[in-house]
Structure 1
Amino acid sequence: MDFEDWSPRTRAVAAGRPQEPGEPLNTPIVPVSTFHAGGARAYSREDGTPSWAALEEAIGLLEGGHATAFASGIATAAAVIDLLPVGAEVAVPRFSYAGTRGLLGHAAKNGRLRAVELEPSDLAAWTAAAEWADLVWLESPTNPTLDVIDIKAVADAAEGHLAKVVVDNTFATPLGQQPLALGADIVVHSATKLIGGHSDLLLGLTVTKDEELAKALRDARTRNGATPGALEAYLALRGLRTLPVRLTEASRSAEFLAERLGQHPNVTRVRYPGSGQMIAFELDGAEAADAVCAGLRLIRHATSLGGVESCVERRAWLAGDAHVPPGLVRFSVGLEDPEDLWRDLQRALG
């Protein structure tokens, strides 16, 4: 099927489906490790499976590149780092996913690379890094502070230099932005989050326009055994089908709740980038934030995000996020009635 004229919403629903008469409407779960000899596939770790291929086709069409599925979001970061030469220099946001910074920190401790943390809001530092770094790792919006970084400006600055620009697009999703179209080299996703959307799987994705880079990432997946399960790929593709409507509804609720939170006397700051289902709000210290998280009844106090259920977490309790403002609460807005969510928040905020 030619998807050139279809919108991202339509692509999310239609891409990655069997097309021939008599075939199933949905790509089925294909739990297989090995194939009969003589065909296009021999062994799933090296050649993939139909379950992975359908998901990769759909995400690739949405992001505008060649997609590769991994066992988890952090496995995508490991694969990108695996491509770097020893002694490489990496720029990463000071406020960003703790798992990524932990992985870079471990590699730095072992002498594998040098990681430099930059303030997300310092665009001049990012454009300068595009000239000296081997890898510029961006999140936009960032996790958990929801800072927005000008991807195009950084990608433009990297043009003509060695730096590869990688964008973690987990929070924005392919429906919110397409970093490859802005000049990025690689996009990564934790499909565990908004793409899957139901808190029931672990899966990661990389996407790149460069065929050689795509092959290198697939080779890294094979080499490290970071392969997704057939069920997980199936669930991620099923979650993708409803991402447009889930994201629209959750974003509408998030906008409403961000405005209400900004008017509450016990909330000192609200961080909301203007779209998406993620909010961060700050209270007067860790004790107040912990009390709110414990006092909620409808909104779940849990880590991770992007599901149909609303969840909160005070991120500074994690060792990797100890530098995050102590009263900052990350709020993943789900699909519950926004008035019910606000009543729950009001009660907990006191």
Structure 2
Amino acid sequence: MAFSDRSGHTAGDAGSVESWLISAGRDRRPGSPLNVQPCPASNFVLGDHRAYARDDGTPGWEALEEITGGLEGGASVAFASGMAGIAAIFDQLPTGSVVALPDDCYQGVAALAQAGQGRGRWTVCRVGVADTAGWIEMCAVADLIWIESPSNPLLAVADLVSICAAPRKPGAILGVDNTFATPLNQRPLSLGADMSVQSVTKFIGGHSDLLGGVVTVRDPNHFAALRHARELLGATPGTLEMFLAVRGARTLAVRLERAQNNAMTLAQRLARHSGVTLTRYPGLPSHPTHEIARSQLKGFGTIISFDVRGNAADAEAVCAGLQLIQHATSLGAVESTLERRAGIPGQEHLPPTLLRLSVGIEAVEDLWADLDRALRDGTAV
């Protein structure tokens, strides 16, 4: 399959991913709008390639798919949410399949997998994110090998190079949730994965103002199957959401660079704070999978999870004491957010004092002052 923009340019022609983010997805014909316009249309005048939006898409969908396809090195299919895209992948599995799922992953995916197992659709086997031998073993027997790396929220990094190189059961799908890394830090398809998923809600959109998802694949048959699933399930993205996603994607590189720099500074300081008992960030040498992260990722990301001293009430007090950082869920946006993950349904197995911090692009000293004050007040250190 060829992955290019409407003028025939490819991601490689742009010279860098930063330039691709700015240039891709635009209509370069003379007289065309410089930006991709919202297209609030459900149907189109017959006689061309587009008739009905649910089947044929809109220019907004196609622009986002062009951008992410070039970044990931494949062909993208946009969905109404990240979970809609993941559900479409799971929908490809025949009854009686085996699903290999990380022991640490997004609770929505875990709930989807468990629900399907409860209906007899498949059997779920949980594997430690860093258990490379366990993943290689599952590659020989599983119909879907689902990897989340770095994982949510414990930030374990899987050895994707070794896992993707392992022999797989014929017809098996190896999918990677690449949301935390983004295509700028990690390209699973180039390592040998079949599918890479982005929750566009997070880093691609980057402004906490949309829901969206995208699945990028290498195999034309997978591409056709996902397009068909989107049509039949009606998991189509909205017009405004795609406009916002394309606009947000233009600044992904500069946002990610700033937020990653902030995250490294904050992680180093949190690791030394008297109110914190454990800091998890792949960029810290103390992180259990730091060496894999260093060899496999171009950047360590913007997410930090850390355990505060005390109990769940102390952790909640830290969240309540924030003034600049938002006490909110989700991640990957311009603003920093913090939440206690064990308080989320389906996440009760996590350490009760674990806080997940999504670092934004605010001034790092302001972020640190807010964190330090909330930690000192909330944990009485």
TM-score, length of structure 1 as denominator length = 0.98
Counterpart CA distance in 2 for 1:304 and 1:176 is: 19
Higher mean Cα deviation, 312-321 or 75-84? Answer: 312-321
1:234 corresponds to: 243
Match of 1:223 among 232, 242, 250: 232
The CA deviation string for residues 168-202 of structure 1, in whole angstroms up to 9 with x for no partner, is: 01111110110000000001111000110000000
For 1:212, the equivalent position in structure 2 comes to: 221
* Deviations 1:104-145 (CA, angstroms, capped at 9, x unpaired): 111111111111111112111111111110001011100111
Q: Secondary structure at the match of 2:38?
A: coil
For 1:311, the equivalent position in structure 2 comes to 337
Comparing 314-323 with 43-52, greater Cα deviation is found at 314-323
Q: How far 1:160 sits from its partner (Å)?
A: 6.2
Contact 2:139 2:169 in 1 (8 A): no
Deviations 1:246-281 (A, max 9, x none): 000000000000000001011111111121111111
User: What residue is the counterpart of 2:194 in the other structure?
Assistant: 185
Percent identity, aligned pairs only, is 51
| 2:365 is aligned with 1:339 | yes
Partner SS, residue 31 of structure 1: coil
Q: Is the 8 A contact 1:199 1:307 kept in 2?
A: yes
Answering whether residue 297 of structure 2 is matched by residue 279 of structure 1, we say no
Distance 1:9 1:286 in 2: 41
**1:19 partnered with 2:44:** no
How much has 1:307 moved relative to structure 2? 0.9
Q: Secondary structure at the match of 2:372?
A: helix
Corresponding residue number in structure 2 for 1:98:
107
Q: Secondary structure at the match of 1:321?
A: coil
Q: Secondary structure at the match of 1:268?
A: strand
Shift of 1:288: 2.1
Q: 1:42 maps to which residue?
A: 51
Unaligned runs of 5+ in 2: 1-6, 284-299, 377-381
Larger CA deviation: 186-195 vs 5-14: 5-14
Give yes or no for contact 1:95–1:324 (8 Å, CA) kept in 2: no
The answer (yes or no) to whether the contact 1:133–1:162 under 8 Å persists in 2 is no
State whether residues 194 and 305 of structure 1, in contact with CA within 8 Å, keep that contact through their aligned partners in structure 2.
Answer: yes
**CA–CA distance in structure 1, aligned partners of residues 324 and 83 of structure 2:** 29
Q: Distance in 2 between matches of 1:44 and 1:158?
A: 39
Match 1:51 to one of 57, 60, 63: 60
Q: Which residue of 1 aligns with 2:318?
A: 292
State the secondary structure of the residue aligned to 2:36: coil
Q: Secondary structure in 1 aligned to 2:158? A: coil
Show CA shifts across 1:2-56 (max 9, x none). 2323211111111111111111111111111001111101100001011101110
Indicate conservation of the 8 Å contact 1:164/1:185, yes or no: yes
Distance between the aligned counterparts of 2:274 and 2:262, measured in 1? 20
RMSD: 1.0
Tell me which residue corresponds to 2:4.
Answer: none
Normalising by the residue count of structure 2, what TM-score does the alignment of the two structures yield? Answer: 0.90
Moved over 4 A (4+): none
Q: Which residue does the alignment assign to 2:134?
A: 125
Structure 1 residue runs of 5 or longer lacking an equivalent are none
- 1:158 deviation in Å? 3.6
